[in-house]
Chain A
Amino acid sequence: MKVFVIDVARCNGCYGCQLACKDEHVGNDWMPYAKPQPDTGHFWMKLLEKTHGQVPKVKLEYTPYPCMHCDDAPCLEKSDAFYKREDGLVILDPVKAEGQKDLVEACPYGTVYWNEELNIAQKCTGCAHLIEEGHLPRCVDFCATGALRFGEEEEFAEEIARAEVMKPELGTRPRVYYLNLPKLFLGGEVWDPDIDEIIEGAKLTLTGTDGFQMVTESDDFGDFWFRKLNAGSYTLKVEAEGYQPVIKEGINVDKSLNIGDIPLTKIK
């Protein structure tokens, strides 16, 4: 049984996966698995991008997002135009999909697209036509950094054990596994305005309302980062030897946040 393993931490945002899909499918007919994809507007493999934080603490996250090839796929329930192959790939039969615009709604992940010109619903085939010849899906074949991998489930047992899936609450059992899915961050800087110097080694304690606690130290730029946070309300305590501690309460982290410069005052 095949799986995709996507390590988001290795994705450099080049969009090669999205483009390789187009190179393979736009204008090319791969029946019985797929009719040609329209030139634009379809993203059978879509790269999602999001900018996190504020100047000067800004990061981008890129997430490759194909059909999840779920084992308990809602689409399979909804219409017999979808079928599951023995190797686990979910295919949308181009013949049966004709005229059925509502199939676009069959996928809770939004990975089914409508082709106006051909009057059919379409989606990622996992490049089944290539898999059968022993090749990789084009998105995986292209990926230069190894962020995208594809193969037998058993070969990826170690990765799958620490992986996440998209929308696990749906219970769809996707065959696309994600490593290092980004979360939110909280960052800032600690400094002493009296002497105009950064403070290295300040202790920063972040406490969530649910009792979650994380401790870090400011680095040699005075910077600190709390990464992989869940959304929520937090309290930040800043302590440095010889300085009055600072406590910031009610920090609402609903997106990644640069809390800015935190000036500390020496204990007189």
Chain B
Amino acid sequence: MGDSKIQTYIKGLGFCGFGAGANTAEVDVKDGKVLRIRPMRYDKKYTKEELNAWKLEAKGKTFHVPMKSQIPPLSLVYKKRVYSPNRILYPMKREDWDPNGERNPQNRGKSKFVRITWDEATDIIASEIRRIEKEYGLNSILVQGDGHGETKIIHASHGCAMNLFDILGGCTYQTRQPDSWEGWYWGAKHMWGCDPVGQGDIGNMLHGIANYTKMLLMWGCDMETTTWGWGGQLASNYCFWLTELGIKQVYICPDVNYGNAVHADKWIPVYPNTDSALQLAIMYTWLQEDTYDKDFIATHTVGFDIFKDYVLGKEDGIPKTPKWAEPICGVPSRTIKALARKWAKEATTIAHCNGGSYIRSTYSHEPARLEVACLAMQGLGKPGRNQFKFIEWGTYGLPSANPAPRPLGRTFIDKAFRGFHFHPLESFIPKTLVPKAILGDYTEDNPLTWYGYTLAGMPREDQFIQYQYPVPGSKEIHMIWTDTPCWTTCWNGGNSMIEALRSEKIETVIAQHPWLENDCLMADILLPINTKFEEEDIGNDMYSGCFNLVMHEEQCIEPLGESVSDYEAVGLVAKKLGVYEEYTQGKSIEDWIKIGFECTDAKNFISYDKFKENKYFAIPIAEGWEDDPIGFEEFYKDPEKHPLNSPTGKIEFYSEELATHFPDDKERGPYPKFIPYGESHQESRLHPRSEKYPYLIVSNHPRWRVHANLDDVSWLREIPTCKVTGPDGYQYEPVWINPKDAAKLGVKDGDVVKIYNDRGWVLGGVLVTERIMPEVILQDHGARIDPIEPGISDRSGANNLICPTNTTSKNAAGEVTSGYLVNVEKVDVFELAKQYPEAFKRQYEKGIGVSQKNRFKL
């Protein structure tokens, strides 16, 4: 601040990655160390008039765009991440892995690491690449280069290695499916198009909801939590304003999530992943009471009659009445009818915020499609009747994804982005199928097959194309290079991934990461990566909803230890392979920053020199944004002139495409249904498996992490809902248990329980709370794994290790990571310590978690 010895820098502290920034902060540095992190002021260098600072007006009240960036607490504490004792500071090699001798793959996750030099590390990696290329071909190298985390442009956290392998001639790359909005991608797209995301048009809806909506259904949605990673707290402020405007916020979810806790006018608890039954009963009520928009159905949709017959029970003999739905979803039938009537009467919008059991459980395409059906029956796009989302505002640069007043230009810095690229490669494996691919005995003649490139953002038609692994002419995977070492704690069935990483077939595992966590434990070589504070870069803020920014992110501090950026680490390998010039295209960081600036619309307003002097530029807001269409307004008004990008241009209750391509698919038929279980999954309370595993687990996007990020921040771990300290002093991941179940299970606050099913077990620290409905437990995902027996059990509570390995449904390669069956049982941690002495004796740093010292010989 005023101290002359303090230097102030601007950094984007969002966690989206993929070159899409948010959470702009000011970083004060003194004596070469980060002193503090605080919100930045948009009007630091530009006046409100220059910015054309926006305001919303409704019902005589005004909402002003904040002039202070709305950063979340997760960005605020980032200093702890930079200086974490868990940083990897030197290149490391697994001590019993010898590339010229015994590789001991079975010891991955068990054996320790020894320090090596950068020169040794890059020699080994370069020679391993050449060896694999010669023995099997480059397609036998799997590159895992996607993911969230620090958002950097030139020094991109994820995917820099993809650029190297493009130069070398290819690799197999892991394609990341839309993990936080599976159902929209695999389901809703087949009803209303809405490529590339599958979610609705939310254009100008901050203005639209405030003025026209009466009831906002927060369905499986926590707008106070998921927003934090990339977006910050504008949504929180906005919801407080909606309350002032008298707009009712009804939360439909199994838990009192953090949005529900402070903003809800009503909570309707629903069993995880039974929303389809609730939706069908609502539509049944509308059909019975004749309270749906028949004109809209006639002019804006196709295939309604067959769907209507299903709802009324003419197809399967089961009318989907509220009484039918009540025991399935746990909502009293009278409440279902009351909700249906209020919805029909009052302008209602449904809001989401990614994650949770609603959109990433088994068959998530069904609730997604049934929601589109509900929206259609009440006239989608009518004033106040739309679908909304509190996160990823402006994603893919789409106006239809930006609900805030429209800026006069874009800030996406694609031309300087050196990470993950979106162009398809010939050889790839969907991220959800990686363990299956490795553990199966697949050949080009007996391949693993699936539908779709699966990359988030691919068009609907791609879901009808069959792909295979290995591709013709290729062999199996024998080497993995990951800069995204969090598969185990973030994807579908991490225990199977641990098994895959320890497979004999995998000869080499390279991981590059700033911290020793998760999949890093199973690596053979670890490369030390620095944080964005340690590098100069260009950055943007395109998700916060306040202003779109381009910023010059100067270097704040010197790199810690021998760490380098991801871009530089791959560059060091490229040097050894003799392709450094191609890799950097002969450009310096300064060159890339300039290229980056020139590809944003900031160049239309300000010179490059002035930009560097001011350190940031905020794109002004357009005049007349108030008149921009709201959500599906144009489609509603004129579906012929403004068709959807579905095959017919209308909402398709019956999808001819699905009927044609997958005529025998009982799990995702041509029109949406209630599918409790089937060939791929038996995770429903209606299935006999529930006798053995009676609880459904809610595994939300974590409150105090962004997926796997930030699990080692002592300041967060002091927060009561972040960790529960067990009787042995270990900080366990909380498990929410309703008092009724706690009595049945004989557990109290602070007890440790085992959460288990046939895929393994993880531990958790009990919080007895009314924030979760009975017969359901909640444990956030993404705890830093701390294996008890690798591939079987885990102390940290990384419950993705035991979630289903099968994909969303037979022909939909998404993940199922919430809303599955488990049982819960109290454990004695001291007894466990006797049983598993090695795991329980690991050195533990209070506030940080399990210590790096257990693994590193420095």
Binding site for B on A (CB under 8 A): 10-16, 18-20, 22-24, 26, 28, 39-41, 49, 51, 53-60, 62, 130, 133-135, 138, 141-142, 144-146, 191, 196-198, 220-223
Contacts and interface: CB of A to CB of B under 8 A. Distances in A.
B649 interface: no
A39 B713 CA distance: 10
Nearest to B33: A27
Nearest to B234: A144
9 contacts: A12-B224, A13-B224, A14-B233, A53-B770, A59-B262, A134-B2, A144-B66, A144-B68, A145-B236
A198 B264 CA distance: 20
Contacts of A54: 770
Contacts of A196: 323, 333-334
A198 B334 contact: yes
Given A28-B35, A221-B266, A12 B770 contact: no
Of the candidates B337, B341, B770, the one having the most CB atoms from chain A within 10 angstroms of its own CB is B770
Interface stretch (B7-15, B36-44, B408-416): B36-44
Nearest to A141: B38
Given A12-B262, A60-B261, A198-B338, 18 more contacts: A12-B258, A14-B236, A16-B76, A23-B36, A26-B715, A40-B714, A49-B720, A49-B721, A58-B267, A59-B261, A59-B262, A62-B262, A138-B38, A144-B39, A196-B323, A198-B337, A220-B338, A221-B342
A41 B714 CA distance: 10
Contact of A221 (B233, B339, B846, B847): B339
B836 interface: no
Nearest to B342: A220
Contacts of A135: 1-2
B178 to A, nearest CB: 27
A59 to B, nearest CB: 7
Contacts of A11: 262
Contacts of A142: 38-39, 71, 73, 76
B70 interface: yes
A134 B36 CA distance: 17
B770 A51 contact: yes
A226 B268 CA distance: 19
B232 interface: yes
Interface of B: 1-2, 35-39, 66, 68, 70-73, 76-77, 79, 224, 232-234, 236-237, 240, 256, 258, 261-262, 264, 266-269, 323, 333-335, 337-339, 341-342, 714-721, 738, 769-771, 773-774, 846-847
B70 A56 contact: no
A256 B721 CA distance: 21
B233 A12 contact: yes
Contacts of B338: 197-198, 220-222
Contact of A13 (B258, B266, B323): B258
B333 A40 contact: no
A116 B806 CA distance: 52
B466 to A, nearest CB: 45
A141 B339 CA distance: 41
A157 B39 CA distance: 28
A266 to B, nearest CB: 15
Main secondary structure of the interface of A (DSSP, over half): mixed
Nearest to B78: A23
Contacts of B79: 23
A19 B2 contact: no
B36 A19 contact: no
B237 to A, nearest CB: 6
A58 B262 contact: no
A230 B719 CA distance: 28
B337 A40 contact: no
A200 to B, nearest CB: 8
A51 B267 contact: no
A19 B73 contact: yes
Nearest to A49: B720
Contacts of A222: 334-335, 338
Contacts of A18: 719
Which of B232, B234, B266, B717 counts the most A-chain CB atoms under 10 A from its CB?
B266
Contacts of A39: 714-715, 847
A78 to B, nearest CB: 28
B784 to A, nearest CB: 18
Nearest to B251: A56
**Residue picked from B1, B37, B76, B269, most chain A C-beta under 10 Å:** B76
A182 to B, nearest CB: 11
B233 A13 contact: no
A126 B847 CA distance: 26
Given A58-B771, A198-B334, A19 B233 contact: no
A222 B68 CA distance: 41
B700 to A, nearest CB: 15
B714 to A, nearest CB: 5
Contacts of A197: 334, 337-338
A141 B774 CA distance: 40
Contacts of A62: 262
B267 A56 contact: yes
B38 A15 contact: no
A23 B77 contact: yes
A221 B240 CA distance: 22
A13 B234 CA distance: 14
Given A55-B773, A141-B39, A23 B224 contact: no
A166 B266 CA distance: 30
A187 B148 CA distance: 42
Contacts of A16: 72-73, 76
Contacts of B72: 14, 16
Given A40-B714, A55-B770, A57-B267, A144 B335 contact: no
A198 B720 contact: no
A18 B720 CA distance: 13
Nearest to A220: B342
B335 A15 contact: no
A198 B331 CA distance: 13
A16 B25 CA distance: 14
A132 to B, nearest CB: 9
Contacts of B262: 11-13, 59-60, 62
A39 B269 CA distance: 39
B453 to A, nearest CB: 38
A19 B76 contact: yes
A77 B233 CA distance: 42
A159 B735 CA distance: 40
